[in-house]
Amino acid sequence: MVEVLRAHDLVNLSSSSTDPDDWLAHDYDVDSPVYLLVYPAHQRVVCRWGIAWPVGGEATSTSTAAWRHVQLESLADPLGGEVEMHYGYYGALTKTAGPEFATARWIALGTMNLAHRREIESLAKTTPVREEEDGWGCEDWVKDLLERMIAAGVVSATTCHDAVARASADAA
């Protein structure tokens, strides 16, 4: 028998490992730029927001080993039916830059050390994910995470609020 879990059932699942997902590229103890990413809307999907930074070596806008992403993942209906959108957070992911990454708007949040980047990952794990209702979406989750980052002293309120204003203008 196949067990199908809804998105809210998956929220509390996590891997038993506390090691970061760094098999592709390690997040070294160096200062690194951190960005708020706004992916363009396409089809019926609204703009997605996320936070990312380069890992594994020197980064440029055209070349880097990989990127560490802190963002919600959309959960599809395994049976392919039309249902409301569900999101889940399963921890930060390290991956190469795909085509949609190149089209994203990068809004700098600042240059951060490894301790602050790990704090972002830790705060993300405690940021609640809700079912999409009344327009709630991944951008709301990122805004909540940014407020937690301000409270933890990871980034300034001015920087965050300016970044959100720029991202919101891009999404409009």
pTM score, two decimals?
A: 0.79
Query: What range defines the domain where residue 100 resides?
Result: 7-11+21-171
Compute and round to an integer the Cα radius of gyration of the chain: 16
End-to-end alpha carbon distance in the chain:
45
On whether residue 106 sits in a domain, the answer given is yes
Give the torsion sign (CA, 16, 21, 23, 26): negative
Q: Which residue has the higher pLDDT, 99 or 112?
A: 112
In a domain, 1, yes or no: no
Whether 16 maps to a domain, the answer reads no
Distance CA 139, CA 128 (A): 13
Q: For residues 27 and 25, what is the distance between their CA atoms, to the nearest angstrom?
A: 7
**Number of separate domains in the chain:** 1
Q: Which residue has the higher pLDDT, 120 or 134?
A: 120
Position 136 in a domain: yes
Cβ atoms of residues 49 and 142 within 8 Å: yes
Q: Does some domain include residue 2?
A: no
Taking each continuous run of H as one helix and of E as one strand, the counts in the chain are: 5, 7
Mean per-residue pLDDT for 2-18? 41
Q: Considering the domain boundaries, does residue 57 fall inside one?
A: yes
